[in-house]
Amino acid sequence: MLVFFIASSFARQTSSSFIQDEIAQAINNDRWDFTAEYAQPISGQRRYITGSYYVQCRKDTVIVALPYYGRLNSAAGASNQDPLDFKSTDFKITKEKRKKGGWLVTIKPSNSEVQSMNFTFFDNGSAQANFTMTNRSAIDFSGKIAPAK
């Protein structure tokens, strides 16, 4: 019985470190996918999101397909288009390994209403994202990070 417990514990640790290594490699190579599960508008309730909502990061392209719930702060931002539904090839990305594990990743697209996308990626694959915009209220998302397929 003791042998089974030790073997089971070792398998979980090995699997966990494998996931951490895969996530770290994906972040270092700018080849990861964030899948949103919940949205939290600054003024409003947290919402469970159904459907396929994501951010895909590739070396030279960022694709954002997320819902937006929030307020328009300026008429300059008024449009019928979802501000979180775009593709950008003109962006800056910074990455920082956290002392407590995980990563902080910031993406600043140049050709979008989005000023910055701030991601916190945890070693277990969970993730938080904050989107700050020029003419609209900010919005947060929580979900998962995975290496690009």
Q: What is the pLDDT along the chain (149 residues), one digit of tens a residue?
A: 444 343 344 334 445 677 889 999 999 999 999 999 999 998 888 999 998 999 999 999 999 999 998 877 665 555 657 789 999 999 999 999 999 889 999 999 998 889 999 999 999 999 999 999 988 899 999 999 999 98
pTM over 0.95: no
Report the CATH number that the domain containing residue 63 is assigned in CATH.
Answer: 2.40.128.410
Q: Tell me the C-alpha distance between 62 and 84, whole Å.
A: 11
pLDDT at 149: 85
The CA-atom distances, in angstroms, between 69 and each of 35, 43, 56, 76 are 17, 9, 20, 18
Total of domains in the chain: 1
pLDDT at 16: 67
pLDDT at 18: 72
Domain that holds residue 108: 2-147
Q: Tell me the C-alpha distance between 95 and 51, whole Å.
A: 28
